[in-house]
Amino acid sequence: MTTHRYAVFGHPVAHSLSPRIHAAFARQTGVTLEYTAIDSAPHDFVAALDRFVGAGGVGANVTLPLKEAAFAICARTSERAQRAGAVNTLSWNDGQWYGDNTDGIGLVRDLTGRNALDLRGRRAVLLGAGGAARGVAPALLDAGVAELVIVNRSPERADALADALGDPERAHSRYWKDLEQLGDFGLVINATSAGRGQIDASAFDLPFALTTPRTLAVDLNYGEAAIPFLAWAKAAGCHDAVDGLGMLVEQAAVAFEEWHGISPDADAVYAALRRKDDLLVTAD
C-alpha cells in the first residue's frame, strides 16, 4: 500500500497541531498517510518544497509566515486563493503546485456553525494584513459583514489588502494609531502574531472603545498565543470570545477532503483537542 506524504510548512512550526489533526482524520476515514511538520524560513521555502516533492510529497498546508510566498509559487490557484492573494493548501498535480485557501471557509464554518454566531450586518475590524488576514477577509465579506476595517502596523499592507478585496463600499484601511477614533465594532478579529511567545494580556494594548457588550472577539491564533487577546476581550466586556482552534480544524477538514475525496468528522477532532483526548496522541 502506498503511503502518501503530506506536511505543514511554517517558521516556526513545532507548535502546529496540524499533524495530529490530519492523523486523526486519517484514522477516522481509513486513509493511509504520513504527515509531518517542516520548519522553513522564507528564503528556503522553494528549496524545501522541492526537497519535499523529491521525497514523495504530494500535498502541504502552509502557515505563518509563508502563505503569500506559497501563492507566488503556484502554477494554478483557486478563486478563494486569488481573492486572498495567499495560499494555505498546496496540491502537487502534473508536476506543478495547485494552491487553495481554506482559512476563510474554516473560520466562517466555526463561527456560524459550531458557535452559532451570526456575522451578518456586523461592523468588523481586522487587526493585521498578512497571510492569515488575507485568507479570512474575503470570507467575512461573503458572510455578510456590513463593513470591514483593516488595521495594520504597516499601513501600506492594510491599504493593499483593502484594495485587493475590491469592495470599496465595505472594505477600508485605517491607521493603527487611529484605533481609538474608529468607534465600536460588533466583530473584532486578531490576525496578528502579537501573542506568540507571550501570556501577558498587556501584549494587547487595545482601546476598550472598540467594543460593546454585544461584541464578538475572535483570535485566529490558538493555545498560548491566543491568551493575551482573549484576556483583553474579557476585560473589555465582549459578549463572546473565540480562539482559532475551531478554524484550524475546519480549514484542515476542507484540505483533507480536497486531497482524499473524503469529508472527515471535524467536530469529533475539535472536541478531542479541547479535552486533550488521547485520540490525538498529544506530545505536549
244 is in an annotated binding site: yes
88 labeled binding residue: yes
Is 198 assigned to a binding site?
A: no
Distance of CA 147 to the CA centre of its chain: 20
In contact, 86 and 101? CB cutoff 8 Å: yes
Q: Which is it for strands 96-100 and 89-93: parallel, antiparallel or unpaired? A: antiparallel
Is 267 marked as a binding-site residue?
A: no
246 annotated binding-site participant: no
245 annotated to a ligand binding site: no
> Quick count: other Cβ atoms within 10 Å of Cβ 214?
14
Q: Is 131 known to sit in a ligand binding site? A: yes
67, 177, 234, 276: which one is catalytic?
67
DSSP the chain: ---EEEEEEESS-TT--HHHHHHHHHHHHT--EEEEEEE--GGGHHHHHHHHHHTTEEEEEE-TT-HHHHHHH-SEE-HHHHHHT--SEEEEETTEEEEE--HHHHHHIIIIIIS----TT-EEEEE--SHHHHHHHHHHHHTT-SEEEEEESSHHHHHHHHHHHT-TTTEEEEEGGGGGGS---SEEEE-S-TTTT---GGG----GGG--TT-EEEES--GGGGHHHHHHHHHHT-SEEE-SHHHHHHHHHHHHHHHHS----HHHHHHHHHTT-GGG----
Distance CA 36, CA 7 (A): 5
3 is in an annotated binding site: no
Asked whether residue 222 is marked as a ligand-binding residue, the answer is: yes
Annotated binding residue 79: yes
Q: Tell me whether residue 67 is one of the annotated catalytic residues.
A: yes
Q: Residue 16 annotated as binding?
A: yes
154 annotated as belonging to a binding site for a ligand: no
**Which residues line the annotated binding site?**
16-18, 63, 79, 88, 103, 128-132, 220, 222, 244, 251
**Which residues line the annotated binding site for NADP(+)?**
79, 128-132, 220, 244
**Which residues line the annotated binding site for shikimate?**
16-18, 63, 88, 103, 222, 251
Catalytic annotation, residues:
67
